[in-house]
Structure 1
Amino acid sequence: MSDLIKVTQCDVEDAHANADQEVIYTKLISEARYQRDPQTGKTLRPWRFEVVQGMFKQSDESTDELSFDLLKENFGLAVSSWTALKVKLHQLNLDKKPNESYKLLICARHGQGYHNEAVSIFGIEEWNNHWSHRTGTTLPDGREIVWGPDPMLTPLGERQADELNKAWKRQIEHGAPIPTRYFSSPFSRSCMTLVRTWKDISICEENEDPTQLLSSKRHLPIVTENLRETIGSHLCDKRSPKRIIAQRFSKFGFTFEKGFQEEDIYYRDDWRESLSEQSLRADAFLQDVFENYPDDVYISSTSHAGEIRAIITALGHRKFAIPTAGTIPIVVKGTRIQEELVA
């Protein structure tokens, strides 16, 4: 297994916690199917999603998440080659019904942030009970670490993202598709992971020549609130103002979703979002992708462990632990339910 990107027992416990919330989510999403836009009267969640099996090892119940090696196992590719995957996906979209769509969703977790380092130092119980509500501390060796709000990547986190970059370049040499649409959580650790992962592939600075990219075209990531980590209580999960995010990442082509607010209007000190609530957010992200980007088959999203767990829940995918800088590709079938069936 890669020395830089490897699953910990904490990652596994996190991925399998709060199983009761999945039952609650099923009830909440069933109710949400009937919600309509008050201005247009259209259904807000017209798409239903399912995982296409047999494409990636992570969706196979027999795959051991603790021994699975993301980089050595071609990101989990379960078919004979990336070319075979692209052919299968292309054929699925050729044969689909008018209200169906198939996409490859590449869900990446950010590299190690200073809050992750703090958890490794203090332990998860001390983190949840005390340190997550602080902005940082000075360690016994005199080193100061800051994790809230909106922590940055640690040097290890940067190396992890750079390792991902090398891995994707190797896979692209062997036929892996380059995403045509990129989404990021608004947190700096995710935005910077996206930059370092896709640098020279499809992301560059504004003063660099985009024709030198492997994609031959510069892509502009979209910052979206629905990809942010579990909301509330933990100061590492309070985002920076919009102007700060723009100062850090607009040079890399980052744009903001419509309606993105200057300040973090969602964070609260006295409340923590449940998995069922976060999974509703994840479903809203998927709704946006399938409804508003019909021509993009290969989608990259860079977010967080909790958010990927929520996406997995929304899709009905098996639970699977994702390490810092880990990635889980999922082929998703979306079916758009006709308005009259939802009314």
Structure 2
Amino acid sequence: MAIDSTSFQVVPGFFRHYEEPTGPQFRAITLPNMGLIDRAYETDAAFDPEGKKTQWERFVRFLEHKNEQGQGRVQYKLIFLIRHGQGYHNLKEAEVGRHEWETFWSHINGDDRTVWADSQLTEKGKQQAQALNDFWRNAIATGMPTPQKYYTSPLARCLATTSITYSGLNVTADQPFKPIIKENLRERFGKHTCDRRSTRSWIADNYPSFQIEPSLSEADELWQSDRRETEKEIADRVRTLLRDIFSRDDKFILSFTAHSGFLRALYGVIGHPDVWVSAGATVPVLIRVS
């Protein structure tokens, strides 16, 4: 596959999330069974002639088949997208309102009660991540597959969400829980102190079992106090991330833990409707890579 010219396109017709309302008045939540639509697949006759397999078992076999057909030239990747749980920056914005947050509070490190520079999860945010952990425990029992590989933003709220969400789940030797920290999964760079990451040393000390990509610098060299990353720039960053991961990773069921701005940019790149995602929710997207 010519990586530089790779295209990424969402594949509709498999998840209810694709059909949800767009815009800021609606927030998508984690749906039962991840919103997998009850439907037939072209592989059912050979794979499940007696009709005893679960919907997820049949869907995974269908994806395997499509990837076999593609022979590396066309790939199908199922990504479970997690928006981190509520952070202290979310709490402050809700308190003061959008305008006050954007014009003043987002530019400082905190107030006399909390700090939101590289914002940590609030107690509610931790509970939201634990609810995802409970969701996965129940989902695994009904046949839903866990991710084969895990990727996360290096910002503190995403690291904690990833850790809590997948903690203690049964994983196999060929699918270990060893999240890979990717700089390009970050929220939009600049101005907002909540989006200024901690040092590489802090990440390594607090998440020793996570794998930090080699290029991640000690200090945050991307965040600028006087300039916010543009929508075009974050879209280009999303494309770079997808090319990077999809060219290296042969797994087809992945997990990304990221941010609202990143998710909206990703949806723009792959042609997914602009569905806004709630804090602490997991939503699925199926991407065709060619």
TM over 0.5: yes
The one of 22, 39, 64 aligned to 2:21: 64
Once residues 79 and 256 of structure 1 are traced to their aligned partners in structure 2, the CA distance between those partners, rounded to angstroms, is 38
Q: CA deviation at 1:46?
A: 3.4
How far the C-alpha of 1:107 sits from its partner, in A, is 1.1
Aligned residues: 272
CA–CA distance in structure 1, aligned partners of residues 121 and 30 of structure 2: 21
Structure 2 match to 1:268: 224
**Alpha carbons of 1:186 and 1:98: their partners in 2 closer, same or farther (altered >3 Å)?**
closer
Aligned position for 2:244: 288
Query: Is the partner of 2:276 in helix, strand or coil?
Result: coil
What is the match of residue 51 of structure 2?
Answer: none
Q: How far apart are residue 44 of structure 1 and its match?
A: 6.1
Q: Is the contact between residue 45 and residue 284 of structure 1 (CA under 8 Å) also seen in structure 2? A: no
The answer to whether 1:146 aligns with 2:102 is no
Which whole-Å CA distance do the structure 2 matches of 1:231 and 1:69 have between them?
24
Matches within 5 A, 1:217-228: 218-228=176-186
Identify the match of residue 170 of structure 1 among 134, 138, 146: 138
Match of 1:102 in 2: 76
**CA separation of 1:263/1:156 partners in 2, compared to 1, >3 Å: closer, same or farther?**
same
Hey, what does 2:8 align to over in structure 1? 49
Residue type at the aligned position of 1:325: G
Instruction: Look up the match of 1:302.
Output: 257
Structure-2 change in CA distance of 1:70 and 1:173 (3 Å): farther
Confirm or deny: 8 A CA contact 1:114 1:154 kept in the other structure. yes
Deviation track 1:84-115 (CA, whole Å, cap 9, x = no partner) reads 32122112112225411111011111000000
* Deviation at residue 334 of structure 1 after TM alignment: 0.5
Q: Tell me how far 1:289 sits from its aligned partner.
A: 1.6
The offset of 1:54, in angstroms, is 1.0
Mapped contact 1:79–1:85 kept (Cα < 8 A): no
Pairwise mapping of residues 50-199 of structure 1 onto structure 2 (< 5 A)? 50-60=9-19, 63-64=20-21, 70-80=29-39, 81-138=55-112, 144-148=113-117, 150-199=118-167
Task: Confirm or deny that 1:240 pairs with 2:208.
Answer: no
One-letter code aligned to 1:88: F
User: Percent same amino acid among aligned pairs?
Assistant: 32
Q: Kindly indicate whether the alpha-carbon contact (under 8 Å) linking 1:56 and 1:79 is maintained by their aligned counterparts in 2.
A: no
Structure 2 contact 181–210 (Cα < 8 Å) conserved: yes
Query: What CA deviation, in whole Å up to 9, does each residue of 1:206-246 have, x standing for no partner?
Result: xxxxxxx3445532111111000000000001000100011
Give the Å deviation of 1:147. 0.3
CA drift at 1:300: 0.6
Q: Secondary structure at the match of 1:321?
A: strand
Q: Which amino acid aligns with 1:156?
A: K
Which shifted more, 190-199 or 94-103?
Answer: 94-103
1:10 equivalent in structure 2: none
| Aligned match of 1:7 | none
**One-letter amino acid of the structure 2 residue matched with residue 182 of structure 1:** Y
Structure 1: segments with no counterpart, 5+ residues: 1-41, 139-143, 202-212, 336-343
* More moved, 90-99 vs 108-117: 90-99
Structure 1 vs Structure 2 CA RMSD: 1.9
Q: For 1:72 and 1:180, how far apart are their aligned partners in 2? A: 21
**Amino acid in the other structure paired with 2:271:** G
Partner deviation per Cα, 1:55-88 (whole Å, 9 max, x = no partner): 111223xx33667773453222123522232122
Distance 2:111 2:193 in 1: 13
Conservation of the 8 A alpha-carbon contact between 2:28 and 2:276:
no
Contact 1:70 1:76 in 2 (8 A): no
1:231 aligns with 2:189: yes
Quick check: 1:332 aligned with 2:287? yes
User: 1:232, 1:267 within 8 Å by CA — same for their partners in 2?
Assistant: yes
* Residue identity in the other structure for 2:84: H
- Give 1:47 deviation, angstroms: 1.6
CA distance in 1, matches of 2:210, 2:283: 23
Corresponding residue to 2:274 among 319, 323, 328: 319
What's the CA shift string for 1:145-182, capped at 9, x where partnerless?
Answer: 1101x111000000000001111111111111111111
